[in-house]
Amino acid sequence: MGLKAATFILYTNSQSVMALNHLSLLRPLLCQSLVRQLRSPLVATSRVSAPILCPNTTCYPYAGTRLYATKKAKAKAKGQSAKVNINTSLVEDIISLDEVKEDMTAVFNALKDEFTRNLSIRTSAGALDHIVVMTQDGKFPLNQLGQISMKSPQLIMVNMSSFPEATAAATRALRESSMNLNPEVDGMIIKVPIPKVTREHRENLVKLAKQCSNKAKDSLRRVRSNAVTQVKKAKEGHSEDTIRLVEKQIQQMADNIAADIDKQLAAKTKELLG
């Protein structure tokens, strides 16, 4: 082989080595460009490895890529909103949060009493005590008009001798109650047979329980609305942030009572349906 040919071969090999070196330096940049074009815009990761495109190179995402929150993450963030816990003494000049809480708790307690008195599977003498009787002189609970006693496990007696003129009204109130009663009048005595518990009766009681719960929530909303109105009237002399925090505290209190109402309804429904 001649000297010129050998020199040409050496020169060609040298150029090839230099080209490979340049290609090795350009490999990370090529990798970034390819990954940027192929990756999905919804993928949100801190580092992307591309062993197929760049065997020995770790590629980083493009700095301008927008990362999107998933629906699940948004729902979780919404459910974990910061709780408010205001010192009631610091906002007494705006509203008494203790009184608002008492009013809301009273709504819940009234619902529990309603469930206990009028929505029970087992009918007892005490269950008739608070049935409201409409008379010419006004509304009265049955136990103030007549003497209620348990004659037998299947029969309740109401002695109306103290107010015989209210016998008809008491009978009507018993019949129209939510307890599925069919009273019978014997002079000044009202006989109330205890009905057998049927599936239909249980389901009717559940419907009444839902109605009572909805009424309780309506009352709760009125308490909340009145409290928020009072707070808005006290805007003068207080920062917007303070007013907003007080309103949020009131809403939080209402939400807690509403959750208690739902739990009470669920427990009562389970009890009634057996």
Q: Where are the domains of the chain?
A: 3-59, 88-111+199-273, 123-193
pTM (two decimals) = 0.58
Over residues 22-38, the mean pLDDT reads: 56
123-193 and 88-111+199-273 share a CATH fold? no
pLDDT at 266 over 70: yes
Query: Considering the domain 123-193, what is its CATH architecture?
Result: 2-Layer Sandwich (3.30)
The CATH number of the domain covering residues in 88-111+199-273: 1.10.132.20
Report pLDDT digits (tens) over 170-200. 999 999 887 778 999 999 999 999 878 788 8
Tokens describing residue 176: 């129209």
Give the CA distances from residue 245 to residues 30, 80, 87, 240, 241, in Å, rounded to whole numbers and listed in that order: 53, 17, 11, 9, 6
Going by pLDDT thresholds of 50, 70 and 90, the confidence category of residue 205 is confident
Q: Looking at 125-134, 177-186, 204-213, which range is the least confident one?
A: 125-134
Report pLDDT digits (tens) over 107-116. 999 999 888 8
Strand partners, 58: 49
Q: Looking at 53-57, 94-98, 124-128, 257-261, which range is the least confident one?
A: 53-57
Going by pLDDT thresholds of 50, 70 and 90, the confidence category of residue 56 is very low
* CA-atom Rg of the chain in angstroms: 39
**What pLDDT score was predicted for residue 24?**
57
